[in-house]
Amino acid sequence: MYQRVDGTHYQHIWLTGDLHGCHALLMARLKALKFNPGEDLLISVGDLIDRGPDSLKCLELLDKRWFLAIRGNHEQMAIDALDNQQLALWAINGGEWFERCSESQKAETKSRLSACRYLPLVMEVDTLKGIHVIAHADYPDNHYDWQKTLDWHRVLWDRQRLSNHLAGQHAEIDGADHFWFGHTPLKHRYDAGNQHYIDTGAVFGGELTLVQLQ
């Protein structure tokens, strides 16, 4: 459930908010940032798929040596839908693209989504400027520990901490320098203490937020 990344192996490390199939937009942003796939690393905060135009292309990023991702609730929803052969809930939440795929594309999608079972739910990135912890929706504890057992459903889905922040009820998480989340589309990146929310609704016409961690 956890993955640790040693930042000393990379020149620069970037973190992207929820992609939701916006592959072309991501490539344009990386080009503008002069991203170097030979020396740099890009990490996704989850939700590679659904709603946008190129979900399968975003899944194919997992083959790239310069790309890492944690699991988002949309990957989990797709895995569950295919496991149970009940696609309706996934479809109404952006997964209708799967039914439009050719048979060969469906087979490839199923294989890639099966591999998403092994994506971590929490990633710790040790950089020259501190320790960054990445989870899709929340780190549901006020103290971070490597390999701590958590409520994994809340890691993927919970919005309570963000709701508390927006209501002026702030609580720090200790044990790391920064905590990064996606999941909830916002008009602008939101920062509260050492917690940062970077899903800025790219698939809905907003900005695709990329943050340089190193």
Q: How far is CA 15 from CA 40, 49, 79, 98, 160, in A?
A: 11, 17, 24, 27, 23
Q: What is the C-alpha separation between 51 and 202, in angstroms, rounded?
A: 10
Q: What is the C-alpha separation between 133 and 120, in angstroms, rounded?
A: 12
Whether 74 is catalytic is: yes
Instruction: Name the phi and psi angles at 83, rounded to 5.
Output: -60, -40
Residue found by looking up tokens 């209708």 in the block: 96
Tell me the DSSP string of 152-172: HHHHHH--HHHHHHHTT----
Contact criterion met (CB below 8 Å) for 19 and 58: yes
- Given 23, 74, 136, 183, the catalytic residue: 74
- Give me the half-sphere count of Cα atoms (radius 13 Å) on the Cβ side of residue 99: 12
Largest CA-CA distance found in the chain, in angstroms, rounded: 50
Which amino acids are annotated catalytic?
74
